[in-house]
Structure formats: C-alpha cells, structure tokens
C-alpha cells in the first residue's frame, strides 16, 4: 500500500465514524477498525495532524478538520460510486478489495464522469449516502 493510500484509509475511517455519530473517535477504536496496533495508529494520527487533516487530543480522541473532511469525502464518494458501478452496471459481486484499490486512484474529474453516467446516485448498494460532487449541483 502506498503511504498516501494509508493516509486516505485513516481519513475514510474517521469519516465513517462521523457518519455514525462519533465525532471524536478513540485511538483504540481506530486501531481496531484498521486492524493495526495502538502505537502505529498514534504515529499515523500525528502525521495526519501535521498535515492539517485531523485534530488529535491525547486521551480524548481524534476528529477530522475541515480539510481532512473534504479529503475523506472524496474517497468515500469514489468508494461508493465504484460499488454502484460494479453492482448495477457490471452486475458483479462487490469485492471490497477491488473497490479499496481503485478508490485511491481516481481523479475528481473521473468520479464526476462516473457520477454523471450513473445519473448522480444518492446511495451506494449498501444504502449509504454518496457525498455530492460538483456535477450533482
């Protein structure tokens, strides 16, 4: 996995926590979700904080900054659009490994092209909301 993809996985995880009403995620929860050790989660979150993607408070938890949320939203959007493409257009089973591989390599322009061709869908096949892109407005 490329380092930037790794960063994106963290952002994606935090975004999903937020979606589920957890605004301040605990390190242990993040580590568990990503199947990594607590120290490596802390190390990574410090890097994310340096880059301005998260705000990290010791003993309290982590939350996305505006910048982090924006970056995460694009990945989530990619993820859910690809799921829909696989399921509805290709009539194939969703393989999360494939989805997670592709989502990090899409430009915003490509996501919008895909979104347009799928007629600006609002939900992924799992019923989760797809964040809107510029094309949807």
Per CB under 5 A, residues contacting Zn ion are 83, 115, 120, 124, 126, 128, 133, 135-136
- Report, in Å, the least distance between residue 107 CB and Zn ion: 14
Q: Rg of the chain's alpha carbons, rounded to an integer? A: 15
Distance (Å, whole) CA 73 – CA 67: 10
SS3 26: coil
Distance (Å, whole) CA 124 – CA 137: 18
- Report, in Å, the least distance between residue 10 CB and Zn ion: 19
Cβ distance to Zn ion smaller for residue 42 or 136: 136
- Report, in Å, the least distance between residue 74 CB and Zn ion: 13
- Report, in Å, the least distance between residue 102 CB and Zn ion: 13
Cβ distance to Zn ion smaller for residue 102 or 135: 135
Q: Are 55 and 63 in contact (CB under 8 A)?
A: yes
> Bridge partners of 53?
none
> Bridge partners of 56?
62
Cβ distance to Zn ion smaller for residue 40 or 117: 117
- Report, in Å, the least distance between residue 106 CB and Zn ion: 13
- Share in percent of the chain as helix, strand, coil (round to 5): 60, 10, 30
Cβ distance to Zn ion smaller for residue 28 or 117: 117
Cβ distance to Zn ion smaller for residue 27 or 84: 84
């Amino acid at each position: 996995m490329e380092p930037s993809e790794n960063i994106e996985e963290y952002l994606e995880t935090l975004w999903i926590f937020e979606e589920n009403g957890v605004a301040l995620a605990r390190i242990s929860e993040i580590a568990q979700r990503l199947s990594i050790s607590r120290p490596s989660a802390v190390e990574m979150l410090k890097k994310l904080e340096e880059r301005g993607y998260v705000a990290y408070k010791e003993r309290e938890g982590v939350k996305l900054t505006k910048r982090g949320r924006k970056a995460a939203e694009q990945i989530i959007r990619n993820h859910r659009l690809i799921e829909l493409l696989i399921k509805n257009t290709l009539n194939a089973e969703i393989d999360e490994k494939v989805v997670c591989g592709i989502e990090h390599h899409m430009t915003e322009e490509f996501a919008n092209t895909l979104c347009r061709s799928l007629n600006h869908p609002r939900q992924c096949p799992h019923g989760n909301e797809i964040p809107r892109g510029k094309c949807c407005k």
